[in-house]
Structure formats: structure tokens, C-alpha cells
Amino acid sequence: MIDIHTHILFDIDDGPKTEEESLLMLKQAVKEGITEIISTSHALNPHFDADYSTVQTKLKHLRELIEQNEIPLTLHSGHEIRINDQMVNLLNHKQLHVLANSNYVLIELPSNIVPTYTKDMIIALKASGYTPIIAHPERNLAIAKNPSKLESLIREGAFTQITAGSLAGHFGKAIQKLSLNLIRANYVHTYGSDAHNLTTRPYHFQEGLYYLERKKQLDAIDILLENNYRIINNQPIIMLELAEIKRDKWWEKIITKY
């Protein structure tokens, strides 16, 4: 299985601090059944901005450690890019990493809002040959309050990535239920752990899949994992027709707890 969203490089953002921690995370990934990982250190984030060349250097070193320690896992390059009006220019000038040398890019929104220029940036990325994937939309308050904000971005050509920990309940019941609702409505296309460490932000990779299995979302599991594979191979993502998300009393209840 492939994990398309991780913070696995040490001493570069809010992920592991030492190479020993990175190695422990990689070994745990293998135990989770993960065979390939895309490293997605933060870029253009107000708190962390991992430089393109630094990422390359750290990746090279970590790949050497993987080989030395005989860890059966392939590591790919990437960035988790905070949405910014300079994204396209920086991508074109090789100052930001795409996912695994594909045309896909992982985009991060602020936690509480969907910036007014988000749709314009998606259109600009598509026009330049990139396909944006919105990271963890289930953890964005504006989307939780009004899923149509996410729907409009998907209709413009964006895809989305759900976080394993969200499905596993790591971020609370409200986000867990919202995540399931988004999946049932076909608003979710890919799956990632967004792992930062093995304590406060672990993988939850299998746990998230087990949750979907218990909720009888077997087709969704197949599609999410297949789409992860397609990203690595730079192939078109499977997209199902969007369904309506109805805001009922239950929905309002979970938003107040968000």
C-alpha cells in the first residue's frame, strides 16, 4: 500500500527531529502494510517552509539509511504546499516538489477558511499541467460548515485526500463522522496518514481502513488505495459522481463540536 502524505524527513518541519525517529517511523510504516511513502514536508506554511534542495538532500540521506537498514520501503519526494498565489511560478521553477515526480501536487488550506482565491489557484494549476489534491479537507472548519465550498473546488478539477487519523477518531468523533460523510458522498479520492511521529501524530493507516470496513465502505477502500497507486504512476484518478450532502440536525450537532 502507498501513503501519499507523510512528514518523515527529520529536522525539517514539525515531523521527526532525528534520523533515529525517522527510521522508527519507517519501520512502523512497514508494520502498517505500507510499501511506498511520499514525503510531504511543509512548504510555504507560516511556520515551516522546507526548501526544495534541502528536501532533496534529506531524502537522499534517508534513502541511504533505508538501504543500510534493509527496510522494504520506497521513499518518494513531495511537498505539502500551503496555498499561495506564487505556487504555479514556484512549481514551474522547480522550487516546490510535486508528488513522486508526477503532475499531482498536495495543497494545504488554512484550518479555518477557504481563501477566496482558492478556485483561481486550482484553475491556474490545471492550466499549467498540475493536478491539485487538497489535503485533509475534513479538518477545515469552513468546509465542515459548508461542504459546497469543497464541492465547487472538486468541480473545478481538484481532488482530495482524507487523513487516516480522522477516520480512526484521532481528531475526535465530529471529524470522524464528517470524514465518513464526505467519503459516502464521493468527495474524497485519496488516502494518507499525515504522520508526523509515533506518539501524538502516528500513522493510523490500518485503523482508518478498518473503520471504513466496519462502515461497509469496501468499494471506497479499493478506490482510495487504487488512486494512491495512480498518483505514484502519474495516471488519472478515479472520480465518482458527487452525491448531495444533506445538512440535518446531526450535521449541525457535529459542527458545534468541531
Task: List domains and CATH numbers for the chain.
Answer: 2-257 (3.20.20.140)
Model confidence at 257, in pLDDT bands (50, 70, 90)?
low
pLDDT tens digit string along 140-193?
999 999 999 999 999 999 999 999 999 999 999 989 999 999 999 999 999 999
On average, the pLDDT of the chain sits at 94
Q: What is the pLDDT of residue 248?
A: 64
Model confidence at 250, in pLDDT bands (50, 70, 90)?
low
Q: What is the pLDDT of residue 144?
A: 92
Please give the residue that has the higher pLDDT: either 222 or 250: 222
**pLDDT surpasses 90 at 222:** yes
Q: What is the pLDDT of residue 191?
A: 98
Q: What's the pTM value of the predicted model, to 2 decimals?
A: 0.95
Contact 221, 1 (CB under 8 A): no
Percent of the chain clearing pLDDT 70 (strictly above): 95
Q: What is the pLDDT of residue 112?
A: 92
